Amino acid sequence: MNKLTIRDINLKDKKILVRVDYNVPLTSNGEIADDTRITATLPTIEYIIKNRGVAILISHLGKPKGKVVKELSLRPVAQRLSELLGQEVVFIEDLFSPSLKTTLDQAQGGSVFLLENLRFFPEEEKNDEDFSRYLASLGDIYVNDAFATAHRAHASTYGVAKFSSYAVAGFLMEREISYLSYLLSEPQRPYVAIIGGAKIKDKLGVIKNLISKVDYLLLSGGLVFNFFKVMGYEIGKSIYDSEMEEETKKLIDLNSLKLHLPTDILIANNLTEDAEVKNVKINEILQNWIGVSLGDETTKKYSDIIKQAKTIVWAGPVGIFEVDKFIKASQKIGEAIVSATENGATSVIGGGDTVACLSKLGIKDKVSYVSTGGGATLEFLEGKTLPGIEILNEKK
């Protein structure tokens, strides 16, 4: 990675403005349902504390659309972060308080502050120049540790960097760039990509970019039914995007030996635990039935390929994993990835739904790296330039 990182800068007695991603899932009563995104930022924050810098954390939560929404306050995050760090995290509710800069200027090295939800202000998503300049004025150094937002050119992810003396990557950002860059540069071979998920539209760019880089591109999930439909097969009530018909035809026309489609599918008559299921060939899908996962033959074929891999990327579930009756293929594919990883492969998992699947399977800690980005990860794998990364200072 050719970007400056937090370790390249002297932090002592400096105010470090850190863009984090605390867009955490909340329960109906406003409690944090999963603190993974908070714990992911601890190495960067603890490094600042250890080096006697003042950590000023900025983030968004949810989609308040430029208005104050009490239920989307970051106050609960400050409380949870305090517990994880074992010290007080000062929550700043009023970003424009006349005394804020004085408070930050007088803060002792090792202090931690968390500012209120930036998306309470419409200027954030508009990348407003004055708002960007104001945020930059709160710190001496800007650190972006929010990879999941790096594909957005917002005030706190892009604009602020233009008005900061230094704009560098945090440790989480550094890890993301390192692992994802490896997938696009010179990965060890055989290199296998498992691309799934419901919508082909979301994965089209990834498929197009990876097809020339991998040895095997294994298609799965709901997106395969676009291919089957174009090929003239009955798909029943399976998911299908008619707007992507021409793009799907173009992928088929590539006639690439690297591109693999399922040969059989698990279908169900409904999406509940008491559903009737059948394992059928792709030309035997029944009317009014729904394709819910890979079939046994395809699962074995894909698993055998994965077990021989030295580099693996998995983006998008291979089927509906939320229903236990449909989870068998996901379990087998996950086990194959773990097996390959134990044998020395580098395995990178991306996408929120894929990570949720890993968590349910209990193998999240058994792969090489789990990306924290959703859309950002996909855009990176598409080969796109991400504004939040592009704006960071280059190493000289």
Which positions are annotated as active-site residues?
Answer: 37, 199, 352, 375
User: Residue type at 163?
Assistant: F
Determine the Cα–Cα distance for residues 306 and 44; give it in Å rounded to an integer: 34
Determine the Cα–Cα distance for residues 270 and 157; give it in Å rounded to an integer.
Answer: 43
Residue 10, SS3?
coil
Contact (CB, 8 A) for 73 and 24: no
Q: Are 155 and 135 in contact (CB under 8 A)?
A: yes
Q: How far is CA 357 from CA 22, 222, 314, 333, in A?
A: 21, 15, 11, 11
Q: Dihedrals φ, ψ of 181, to 5°?
A: -65, -35
Residue with token string 């990675």 = 1
The two tokens of residue 389 are 């990364």
Neighbouring CB atoms inside 10 A of 98's CB total 7
Length reported for the chain: 396
The count of other CB atoms within 10 Å of the CB of residue 109 is 17
